[in-house]
Structure 1
């Protein structure tokens, strides 16, 4: 079980799955795509990572006998380990990149001192 690579898409999907966990419900792929406003390939790549890590489980929808034929949906739910990890990642302090160094006052684009006026 490899730890998934943390990305903004993964955090969006984890946030939604964590809400579903708290409401004791499951969500299917299309619901996730619509809610987090991410493309299908992005969402399903994240779901694959989370499933490989053991953070979620997926179950196929069961059609009752005599129901109209339509594609089955796959529903996703956090595991207990996944819920713990989701809380840790989603609620972590903001991931702010370190500030870029600024040139010292008086230095131009190429690092040479500007002539005094």
Structure 2
């Protein structure tokens, strides 16, 4: 799992029931929309995320309609497990570096 995907999942997991729109997720993660949106599309295809386009009049709101994303119940469970698995090797690697550096 890429670091970018991990950042998106972490942002969504902060409040799994909350819907976030694409630009908002980009701001939360520090990623560009061109990076965030393909990740969201892939997560939606995998069933981890659901989305819907808001029903507004773009002329009245003076902005385009936003697409909101939210983790599915299954997606939240899978994301939590995937992030836990992604962190463990990193933690082990860092401990090894710290121990190796302390021994030198």
TM-score, normalised to structure 1, is: 0.69
CA RMSD of aligned residues (A): 2.2
Mapped partners of 2:54, 2:2: distance in 1:
29
- Alignment match of 2:88 (pick from 94, 99, 108): 94
Measure how far apart 1:47 and its partner are. Answer: 0.5
Q: Which has the larger radius of gyration?
A: 1
Measure how far apart 1:91 and its partner are. Answer: 2.8
Flag the structure with higher helix content: 2
Measure how far apart 1:63 and its partner are. Answer: 1.2
Mapped partners of 1:20, 1:28: distance in 2:
13
Structure 1 regions of 5+ residues with no counterpart? 1-5, 100-117
TM-score, normalised to structure 2, is: 0.77
Identify the range of structure 1 (6-15 vs 83-92) with the bigger mean alpha-carbon deviation: 83-92
Aligned length: 92
